[in-house]
Amino acid sequence: MVVVLIAVPGPSVVFMVSRGVALGRRAALPTALGNEAGLMVQLVLVALGLGSIVERSQVVLSLVKFAGALYLVYLGVQTWRHRRELAGELNAGRHTPAGAGRIFRDGFLVGVSNPKGLLIFTAVLPQFVDAASGNIPLQLLVLGMICVGVALISDVSWGLFAGSARTWLGKSARRLEIMGGASGAIMIGLGAELALSSES
């Protein structure tokens, strides 16, 4: 589930694709590294804060998971509703300065403010925590590091794909609309699955 959730186009993936289309393959790595650095900030804050709260209350864990499920459905609906705006975001990316430092910084800002990252760290990861093993903050941190590693591979892959297919993607708003609609539907499905698992 986590791998699918990471791979589903959200703010980070849209940003990676826009950079690939606008700046080519060379933007993939610095954008992805910046994005994952931002996610690491989220992860540390969540592991230290949420981990200590969850350690004391199973009710809090269930509430966080259910809230995360609802938020994921909300993000899916919003992504589907705004699927036609992807072309505008890609075109806006064409005018962004191409310096490596700027690319990394922009990636960091997208990563640290990415609601999907917070969703994964606060609602999905706690499902895999073993309360009996103790040290829940450390467990969340280790699980989160695995997610960040998967996200790095996914983001670089999206960036390289977009850089290679920049002409094909950039010429069709319809292709981008289909990508956005499918992303929204997948997020809604994952949110429903997470909500049902929260109740069990």
What DSSP state is assigned to residue 171?
T
Tell me the mean pLDDT in the region 17-36: 81
| pLDDT score of 194 | 64
Residues 179/86, Cβ–Cβ less than 8 Å: yes
- Greater pLDDT, 49 or 55: 49
Among the listed residues 82, 90, 101, 91, the one whose alpha carbon sits nearest the alpha carbon of residue 33: 101
Among the listed residues 82, 94, 144, 146, the one whose alpha carbon sits nearest the alpha carbon of residue 119: 144
- Greater pLDDT, 42 or 181: 42
SS3 43: helix
| pLDDT score of 136 | 80
Q: 């850089």: which residue's tokens?
A: 163
Burial of 12 (0-12, 13-18, 19+ CB in 10 A): buried
The span from the CA of 109 to the CA of 53, in Å, is 27
Question: Residue 149: which pLDDT band, with cuts at 50, 70 and 90?
Answer: very high
| pLDDT score of 196 | 74
| pLDDT score of 200 | 47
Residues 55/123, Cβ–Cβ less than 8 Å: no
- Greater pLDDT, 141 or 113: 141
Tell me the mean pLDDT in the region 98-105: 80
Among the listed residues 179, 38, 55, the one whose alpha carbon sits nearest the alpha carbon of residue 109: 38
